[in-house]
Amino acid sequence: MSRGLVFDVQRYAVHDGPGIRTLVFLKGCPLRCAWCCNPESQQARPEPMRRPALCAACRTCASACPAGAGKRDGRGGPVLDRERCAACADFACVQACPHDAISRVGREADAGELLFEIEQDRDFYRNSGGGATFSGGEPFFQPEFLGELLAGCRSRGIHAAVETCGHARTDILLALEPSIDLFLFDLKVLDAQAHCRLTGQDNGLILDNFHRLASRCPDKVTARLTVIPGVSDSEENVSAFAGLLHETGLETVELLAYHPLGLGKWDGLDREPLLRPEPGLAASSLAEVKLRLTRQGISCR
Ligand code: SF4
Ligand code: SF4
């Protein structure tokens, strides 16, 4: 069985697909969303992440690094130079911390091991109509590993969903489609230039993949819109999104509200998000987007 890079497994999840589910988060993503709430999912390699609330700024981690990745930021706090981090075998920085304030994000996992873990909740899936959801990062970023996990679910009779940003090779997407029961297709910004500026990638491939899946297997596709105040909630973006759904014949969307829980993670990764949306606006922004879409004939969940 092949091995892949995973950064989390959550059991008893109820928001990403029907019923009770096990979520498997694969590490690595082609997008760099300016507001990402899981920035630790982006790099396709293991990395250390501090928990700022526990960190005493003692710099023991920085001093322990064999790659010399320790450096000071402008405030004198402990910062690891991510360019120099070699993801050393024993994660010396993690071992050295006296406050348990830094951990390794990302582990190699065997597809068989994960399938065994997924299988443990088979009774819950059966009784709730649930299954497994492969998320990320971007799960199609590790196509062979994902393919093996999907095939394993199929052979075990476990419902399999994939949460995707859609930026994936079309041939791979279509080749794996028969093993996927549900695509949770996350869209953000429809304007090509804005998409490029805010995620680091053009959205041409994403929209093309969305159209293809919506025409090939509409019953398997759930469109999702991440509602980010000041970014994806504009009248133009919401209208363009409604237009896209009408074009593809999908009349329902799941709205995902922005939450600020990822901001501490950016600090812990010694990175600064390109955007810090105003969390206080998330609820009103969501309500406004829902109203606009409903007026345009789109049903919102
Ligand atoms: S994982 Fe290893 S190389 Fe990377 S910062 Fe920590 S000690 Fe240094
Ligand atoms: S992460 Fe741990 S070792 Fe590093 S500065 Fe913070 S408390 Fe000290």
How many Å apart are CA 301 and CA 289, to the nearest integer? 12
Of all protein residues, the one whose alpha carbon is nearest to atom 6 of ligand 1 is 93
How many Å apart are CA 30 and CA 36, to the nearest integer? 12
Q: Is the CB of 104 under 6 A from ligand 2?
A: no
The amino acid at 40? E
pLDDT at 158 over 90: yes
Token reading at 199: 């995620």
Domains by residue range for the chain, with CATH = 3-44+106-300 (3.20.20.70), 49-104 (3.30.70.20)
How many Å apart are CA 114 and CA 22, to the nearest integer? 10
Over residues 198-213, the pLDDT tens digits come to: 999 999 999 999 999 9
Closest CA to 114 of 1, 27, 265: 1
Task: Sort strands 182-187 and 70-72 into parallel, antiparallel or unpaired.
Answer: unpaired
To the question of pTM greater than 0.85 for the whole model, the response is yes
How many Å apart are CA 10 and CA 130, to the nearest integer? 14
pLDDT at 143 over 70: yes
47, 59, 84, 88: residue to mutate for ligand 1 pocket, most atoms within 8 A of CB: 88
End-to-end alpha-carbon separation of the chain, Å? 38
pLDDT at 77 over 70: no
Over residues 268-292, the pLDDT tens digits come to: 998 888 888 777 778 888 999 999 9
Coil, strand, or helix at residue 63? helix
- CA 275, 279, 280: angle at the middle one, nearest 5? 140
Cβ atoms within 10 Å, residue 44: 16
How many Å apart are CA 129 and CA 73, to the nearest integer? 49
Over residues 219-254, the pLDDT tens digits come to: 999 999 999 998 999 999 999 999 999 999 998 999
Ligand 1 pocket list (CB less than 6 A): 48, 64-65, 67, 69, 80, 85-88, 91-93
How many Å apart are CA 289 and CA 143, to the nearest integer? 34
DSSP-assigned letters across all residues of 232-257: T-SHHHHHHHHHHHHHHT--EEEEEE
Of all protein residues, the one whose alpha carbon is nearest to atom 8 of ligand 2 is 58
Q: Is the CB of 263 under 6 A from ligand 2?
A: no
How many Å apart are CA 11 and CA 21, to the nearest integer? 6
Task: Sort strands 102-105 and 159-164 into parallel, antiparallel or unpaired.
Answer: unpaired
At residue 76, the pLDDT reads: 59
At residue 73, the pLDDT reads: 64
